Structure 1
Amino acid sequence: SENIRAGVSYRKFQNDGQIGSFSISHKANNHVFGLNLSYMYVDEFEGRDVPSIDPQYKFDSRNFITDFVYGYDFKILKFGFGAKYIYEKIEFEDAGGFAFSTGLYMDNLLTDDLDFAFSLNNLGSMSKMINESSDLPADITLGLSYKFNTEMGISTSVAISEKYLLNDKELESYSGLEVGYQNKIFARFGYRFNNEGIPFSLGLGFNFKNMSLNYSYSPFSDEIGDSHGLGFTYSFE
């Protein structure tokens, strides 16, 4: 069977930052091909040529990412691979680079409704900007999720994941909860352990036949401010 899915998402931060993306995927039998285009824009950086209390000018930062992905469905085991090109520009300086990611997803691990995921993300490098190149956020992530179903059409999914940051040599822990009604309305809660900057997130999701709409809210530190995100996808059967 064949299926095409397209989606857009947008996230706004209070400090004049924003992230947007467009994605499209084509599933043909066991193969999935996808393309994702995304950007990040942050405005109002203060610039000075000499020490001063007030900034002499302001500038922005822009990032553009083009990501090609491929996946294959082995029924209980799914495999994916992605290659991306990254371009970043800060004021008058710019840099580019390539990164690669891969992952596995397994349905019904050991028992029904228990799923397992593994991913290796952002292996690559950037060219130098002035005299230094920025490090990509490379990580290894493991996750488990379990879904409970009831006769009233209410489903509850719980998930945990561990992310190891390869550059910082630190471990981050996440947990999530999703409650759904008849696979049409969803309420979501996520928690990030031992993190004061982004302690939790909230979300709502709605499915309408071939369409889905998702909203998310995340509180950040005082410097960044809270963020709100919207995502919309449409499936062409």
Structure 2
Amino acid sequence: MGDSYAMNKFEPSSTFYNPALLGLSTNLELQIVHKEWFQDSKTEYLGFATHINNLKLGIGINSFSIQNIELRTIPGPPEGTFTARNLVLSLAGAYQFKNITAGLSGKFLYEKIHIHEASGYAFDLGALYSYSDYLQISLSINNIGKMNPLYIQSSKLPINLRFGLSSSLKLGATKLNANPALQLLTIFSEKKNHIHGGLEIGYDNLVFFRLGAQSGYSTHNFSTGFGISYKFFTFDYAYLPLKYELGNSHSFSIKVTF
């Protein structure tokens, strides 16, 4: 959905956008996500969510890697290859006060490039206001923290602010349901604003079709996908075409509800 998550639905990976979305969790949930990008880069995610009355808890592991990077110390043929890795371990909590939910996430960060490595920490803060079934409002600020030096210089964390609107609409007397979402993303280090929009059409809470759009990115601007949900099992797929002959990105997600 164009990275503009629906705020009336929950999956463990959505806590990386806004930890307050844990407030939408009503069961034990386990999610696995695999994303394939360009140049042998991949993202893997494993998340778990549970709750104790109005207190919701989530644990997540997010890994990003770029493989087969050519190593050179002098101009000429490569002397070998190496892998660059980033790892995020997160622990999130959210508490629901009637129609308002507040969330906090603490993250351990790790990165390694060739033989150099560094660690750090970050926090995410979020809030979710459910005005009605037809309107949800969210606000979050992400990546407040710091990294230790990687060889000489520390990596700068991409602190960002997200403001979003989402809705859920039944389409007449049919079994169709529409979930539109709109989000404004501000990345302070880049001094840029992005608009993310998405629409999900579902039939009988069984089959879902999605379309998303993003503004302000040089490599991509729209995505599409589908989902299938049956009893305790949900499968999702997303397709993101990339410009400049970079190929295409594919995302696969499996969620199990206990």
TM interval, shorter chain, is over 0.9
Which residue is 1:170 aligned to? 192
| Runs of 5+ consecutive residues of structure 2 not aligned to the other structure | 1-24
1:128-159, Cα deviation, whole Å (9 max, x unpaired): 01111111111011001122212101111211
118, 121, 124: which one aligns with 2:142: 121
Structure 1 pair 22–127 and aligned structure 2 pair: CA distance change class (3 A):
same
1:131 equivalent in alignment to 2:152: yes
Which residue is 2:211 aligned to? 189
1:8 equivalent in alignment to 2:29: no
Q: Is the 8 A contact 2:193 2:216 kept in 1?
A: no
1:96-152, Cα deviation, whole Å (9 max, x unpaired): 00010011111126xx51111100001111110111111111101100112221210
Identity %: 28
Measured in 1, the distance between the counterparts of 2:163 and 2:26 equals 30
How many residues of Structure 1 are paired with residues of Structure 2 in the alignment?
Answer: 233
1:234 equivalent in alignment to 2:228: no
Q: Which has the higher contact order (CA 8 A, sep 6+)?
A: 2
100, 115, 121: which one aligns with 1:77: 100
Q: Hey, which bits of structure 1, 4+ residues long, moved more than 3 A?
A: 221-224
Task: Give the TM-score normalised by the residue count of structure 2.
Answer: 0.86
- Which structure: greater helix fraction? 2
1:49 equivalent in alignment to 2:73: yes
| Runs of 5+ consecutive residues of structure 1 not aligned to the other structure | none
148, 158, 161: which one aligns with 2:169: 148
Measured in 2, the distance between the counterparts of 1:34 and 1:146 equals 24
- Which structure: greater strand fraction? 1
Please say which structure displays the higher CA radius of gyration: 1
1:20-67, Cα deviation, whole Å (9 max, x unpaired): 111111112111111001211111212211122x32222110111110
Amino acid at match of 1:143: G
User: What secondary structure is seen at the aligned counterpart in 2 of 1:40?
Assistant: strand
Q: Is the 8 A contact 1:36 1:66 kept in 2?
A: yes
